[in-house]
Amino acid sequence: MAQTISQRLYVEGRIRALTAQGRIQAWVMALLPGLVAAALYVIDYELIAPLWQQRSGQLVLVVIVLLDLLGLWLIRRIVNVSL
């Protein structure tokens, strides 16, 4: 019985560690497009300016935000494990 409890605690610890890793990966994935955009803005403003100055660029930004939110939602569903 003690061995079963020990194994269960071990498995629960592994699950917590892996789900924490998944949550961090989700936030990195969500923040990366914004960080890249900020870096491009600092490095070469003219390269990234069409994203908010042109209609097609604005559409691309909307798609990026929607896909980013969809990715966060999906990862949250995958990582949400009830013990």
DSSP-assigned letters across all residues of 7-37: HHHHHHHHHHHHHHHHHHHHHHHHHHHHHHH
Average pLDDT over the chain, rounded to an integer: 89
**Predicted local confidence at residue 43, as pLDDT:** 95
pLDDT tens digits for range 13-43? 888 888 888 888 888 988 999 999 999 999 9
Report percent pLDDT > 90 for the chain: 47
| Domain boundaries along the sequence of the chain | 2-79
Model confidence band, residue 53 (pLDDT cutoffs 50, 70, 90): very high
Residues near 15 by beta carbon (within 8 Å), at least 6 away in sequence: 81, 83
In this predicted structure, what is the pLDDT of residue 16?
82
Neighbours of 22 (CB within 10 A): 15
21 contacts 81 by C-beta, under 8 angstroms: no
The pLDDT value given to residue 83 = 63
